[in-house]
């Protein structure tokens, strides 16, 4: 690989050029940069210790030059309603973007890279004709990416906040988040030092706040002056200045592929991540490191580009998920400002889910202890082991075994499998163990293996299970989830073909509208008319009466995942033109009717919850705003908590999978409606549970797969945290196992000598 062209002279492009030239001095490496060498936009750049470690290993000279320039600090200040909350131990390093570019210019020039300033690059295709590799580091508006959409498969998503990059001519002494509640709405400033006499200040707000404040009509100088006035206390009355600064809308860039022939995308050309987690320059520099390494290690260019993308894509995807969570948090900032002050600060610090309760406690134990005290933790008690009361039911901790369909019943009858399955998990320490969706009629089953409560024999079988839980796991509660499959019924067992219709023995389906779940595959349901609606409501009522007699402590109404009641709520599955279709108010009518009827017969001292799909993950379906309205309606009708799930309503959904990926919807409902919420969705660690609770994003956390992997997940979480209190008592027969068993020795002497 002899000739390399780099399009774009930002940090990523320059560092890629320097590394590729350093690895082979005989290479001809050319950088095309349309701006002058001293032109730069923005002010400070923050780099993590991880990124710096990679730079130190790959190019010690650049690392030493950067270290001479860095401003370092380890505290974050959060200023909210006149109070400053400080958290330490975070560790930041920053320098001016202009100085960073100068260091990279000097390094490239010293290595013999051909730097061409004020030189717009030829198109990538033209460069590829006589270069072995073209590195497109041409930014968020990449002309290379735009010229080949069919090759790269780009997607660009615009977001809801406006922001502007400004600077102050003094050094802040911490990374500072300042919240301003103005007559126009909530604004926030993100500030950090990048030199001994300068700080970056990013001002951000919702579009409607920006317009209400009149900032949409301000020129750059006026914008800087207005922002300085909004945050005058933080600035000590000092001004802000811009650098070709304008109000921007953040764009999240993704690409299906990062290379095309001899051309490869790096940095913002390939992917962007919101500035609130300080990731743009970091990702670009790490891309450059990985690309250079793969070019060096692989036998040819196709293998190198494939290896580069395989290495970087998972890292970038993880960063983009964290950045998306952070971005959404700031978009919804107005919904958090009324939180208790320390909870607000903790929520902000953990917004991306990368900083958690456990590592924040390591960084700053006193700050975390103050947050725990405000939450109500008893001394020595992790947040997850604090009790919660719902009506007459006190849950001893905040862990729920999520409903999981087992498909192991015969004629709706729960048997020994269900006794062992649910009993084992109740013994495992969770405060509440939920049944699978228990169907209210034979026609309301998903599969022939689903359980039911449509007859007294089933109620007696359930009584056997609830009695076991109450007797053998004292203090543990067991809840029943009632539902009707709707258009998703009469299908095979999950492991025989999920959502695939039975080959024989089918039963008729009913739904909000005559729409099959999978067109051309699934059975077409009948649209429920008035008599059918009344009959289904009575089936729920009869099942609820049996559930009360069977001894369940809590009842959950299943209005999620595309089953019958969910089918009424979603506009994608409800095409009715009567009083039960059209507006969301009308679509809520039948689910609320069922809820009211069940609540009337369910014992008053026992709580009722409702599971909803807070988004359909599909265009034109239920969205987060609708979910708030749905949750508020059920809360007003007496729901004691909302179990916030997502999706599974239409097969064409496109979920944004990732750790705790559904929790932002629970968070939003909790803070908008003020109703307790159950968070679900890839919550896998006790650290996640503690973090979600302390931040005020959930009141309970429901875990499914972790409880399949480990029925004693909650007890083991207590043991791992050194907790032995009333929130997680070990059953007496198991008490001898309440400490982790010893493992093989790891304390042997280390090697003293290496012999060649």
- CB neighbour class for 41 (10 Å; exposed up to 12, middle 13-18, buried from 19): middle
What digits encode the pLDDT tens for the residues 355-400? 999 999 999 999 999 999 999 999 999 999 999 999 999 999 999 9
Q: Is 407 a catalytic residue?
A: no
Q: Which has the closest alpha carbon to 31: 119, 98, 101?
A: 119
The beta-strand segments (E) located in 55-174 are 71-73, 76-80, 83-87, 92-96, 114-117, 133-136, 154-168
pLDDT of residue 756: 40
* Residues whose CB falls within 8 Å of the CB of residue 50, separated by 6 or more in sequence, listed in order: none
23-27, 484-488, 500-504, 658-662: which has the minimum mean pLDDT? 658-662
What digits encode the pLDDT tens for the residues 657-715? 888 889 999 999 999 999 999 999 889 899 999 999 999 999 999 999 999 999 999 99
What digits encode the pLDDT tens for the residues 435-470? 999 999 999 999 999 999 999 999 999 999 999 999
The angle that helices 530-549 and 589-601 make with each other, rounded to 10 degrees, is 30
Reduced to 3 states (helix: H, G, I; strand: E, B; else coil), residue 95 is strand
Q: Which of 336, 517, 563, 723 is catalytic?
A: 563
Is the pTM higher than 0.85? The answer reads yes
Give the number of other Cβ atoms within 10 Å of residue 143's Cβ: 17
Which whole number is the average pLDDT over 480-491? 96
Phi (first) and psi of residue 755, to 5 degrees:
-105, 130
Between the CA of residue 656 and those of 303, 614, 647, 662, what are the distances in Å?
A: 29, 13, 10, 9
Please give the Cα distance from 495 to 405 (Å, whole number). 12
Indicate the pLDDT class of residue 755, thresholds 50, 70 and 90.
Answer: very low
Please give the Cα distance from 473 to 426 (Å, whole number). 6
Q: Which domains does the chain have, with CATH numbers?
A: 3-333 (3.50.50.60), 396-729 (3.20.20.70)
Please give the Cα distance from 143 to 627 (Å, whole number). 39
Please give the Cα distance from 394 to 627 (Å, whole number). 27
Q: Which has the closest alpha carbon to 354: 380, 329, 385, 382?
A: 329
Torsion from C-alpha of 137, 138, 141, 146, nearest 10 degrees: -80
Are 665 and 614 in contact by the 8 Å Cβ rule? The answer is: yes
Phi (first) and psi of residue 289, to 5 degrees:
-60, -50
Reduced to 3 states (helix: H, G, I; strand: E, B; else coil), residue 6 is strand
Question: What is the secondary structure of 642-660 as a DSSP string?
Answer: EEEE---SSTT-----STT
Which whole number is the average pLDDT over 526-547? 98
pLDDT of residue 748: 55
Half-sphere exposure of 268 (CA within 13 A, CB side): 20
Q: Which has the closest alpha carbon to 557: 627, 477, 612?
A: 612
* Buried b / exposed e along 48-61 (16+ C-beta atoms within 10 A): eeebbebbeebbee
Higher pLDDT pick, 247 / 353? 247
Q: Which has the closest alpha carbon to 22: 86, 89, 149, 109?
A: 109
Tell me: pLDDT of 750 over 70: no
Indicate the pLDDT class of residue 426, thresholds 50, 70 and 90.
Answer: very high
């Amino acid at each position: 690989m002899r000739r390399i062209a780099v399009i774009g002279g930002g940090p990523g492009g320059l560092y890629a050029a320097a590394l590729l030239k350093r690895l082979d001095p005989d290479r001809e490496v050319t950088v095309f940069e349309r701006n002058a060498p001293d032109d730069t936009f923005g002010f400070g750049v923050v780099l993590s210790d991880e990124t710096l470690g990679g730079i130190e290993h790959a190019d010690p000279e650049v690392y030493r030059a950067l270290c001479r320039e860095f401003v370092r600090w380890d505290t974050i200040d959060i200023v909210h309603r006149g109070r400053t909350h400080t958290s330490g131990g975070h560790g930041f390093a920053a320098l001016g973007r202009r100085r960073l570019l100068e260091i990279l210019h000097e390094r490239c020039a010293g290595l013999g890279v051909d730097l061409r300033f004020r030189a717009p690059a030829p198109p990538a295709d033209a460069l590829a004709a006589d270069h072995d590799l073209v590195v497109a580091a041409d930014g968020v508006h990449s002309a290379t990416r735009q010229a080949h959409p069919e090759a790269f498969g780009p997607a660009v998503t615009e977001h809801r906040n406006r922001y502007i990059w400004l600077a102050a001519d003094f050094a802040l002494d911490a990374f500072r988040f300042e919240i301003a509640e103005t007559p126009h709405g909530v604004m926030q400033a993100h500030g950090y030092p990048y030199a001994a006499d300068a700080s970056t200040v990013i001002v951000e707000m919702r579009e409607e706040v920006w317009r209400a404040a009149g900032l949409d009509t301000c020129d750059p100088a006026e914008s800087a002056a207005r922002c300085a006035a909004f945050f005058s206390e933080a600035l000590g009355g000092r001004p802000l200045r811009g650098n070709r600064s304008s109000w921007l809308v953040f764009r999240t860039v993704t690409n299906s592929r990062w290379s095309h022939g001899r051309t490869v995308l790096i940095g913002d050309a390939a992917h962007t991540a919101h500035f609130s987690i300080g990731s743009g320059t970091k990702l670009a520099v790490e891309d450059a490191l990985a690309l250079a390494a793969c070019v060096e290690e692989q036998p040819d260019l196709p293998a190198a580009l494939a290896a580069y993308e395989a290495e970087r894509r998972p890292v970038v995807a993880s960063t983009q998920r964290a950045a998306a969570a952070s971005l959404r948090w700031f978009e919804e900032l107005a919904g958090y400002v009324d939180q208790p002050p320390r909870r607000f600060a903790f929520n902000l610090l953990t917004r991306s889910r990368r900083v958690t309760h456990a590592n924040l406690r390591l960084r700053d134990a006193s700050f975390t202890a103050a947050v725990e005290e405000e939450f109500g933790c008893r001394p020595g008690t992790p947040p997850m082991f604090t009790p919660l009361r719902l009506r007459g039911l006190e849950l001893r901790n905040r862990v729920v075994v999520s409903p999981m369909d087992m498909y192991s019943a015969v004629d709706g009858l729960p048997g020994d499998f269900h006794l062992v399955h649910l009993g084992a998990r109740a013994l495992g320490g969770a405060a509440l163990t939920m049944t699978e969706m228990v169907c209210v009629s034979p026609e309301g089953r998903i599969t022939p293996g689903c359980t039911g409560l449509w007859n007294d024999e089933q109620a007696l079988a359930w009584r056997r299970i609830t009695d076991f839980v109450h007797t053998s796991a004292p203090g543990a509660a067991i809840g029943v989830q009632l539902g009707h499959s709707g258009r998703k019924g009469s299908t095979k067992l999950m492991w025989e073909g999920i959502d695939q219709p039975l080959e024989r023995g089918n039963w008729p389906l009913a739904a909000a509208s005559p729409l099959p779940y999978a067109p051309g595959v699934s059975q077409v349901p009948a649209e429920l008319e008035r008599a059918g609606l009344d009959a289904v409501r009575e089936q729920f009522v009869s099942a609820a009466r049996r559930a009360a007699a069977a001894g369940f402590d809590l009842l959950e109404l299943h209005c999620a995942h595309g089953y019958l009641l969910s089918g009424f709520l979603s506009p994608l599955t409800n095409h009715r033109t009567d009083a039960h279709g059209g507006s969301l108010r009308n679509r809520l009518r039948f689910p609320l009717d069922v809820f009211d009827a069940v609540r009337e017969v369910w014992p008053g001292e026992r709580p009722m919850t409702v599971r909803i799909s807070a988004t359909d993950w599909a265009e034109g379906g239920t969205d987060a705003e609708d979910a708030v309205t749905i949750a508020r309606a059920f809360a007003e009708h007496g729901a004691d908590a909302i179990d916030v799930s997502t999706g599974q309503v239409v097969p064409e959904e496109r979920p944004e999978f990732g750790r705790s990926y559904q929790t932002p919807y629970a968070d939003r409902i909790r803070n908008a409606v003020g109703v307790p919420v159950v968070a679900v969705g890839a919550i896998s660690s006790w650290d996640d549970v503690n973090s979600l609770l302390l931040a005020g994003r959930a009141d309970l956390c429901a875990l499914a797969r972790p409880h399949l992997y480990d029925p004693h997940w909650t007890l083991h979480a207590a043991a791992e945290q050194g907790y032995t209190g009333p929130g997680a008592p070990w059953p007496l027969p198991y008490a001898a196992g309440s400490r982790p068993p010893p493992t093989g020795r790891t304390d042997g002497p280390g090697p003293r000598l290496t012999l060649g």
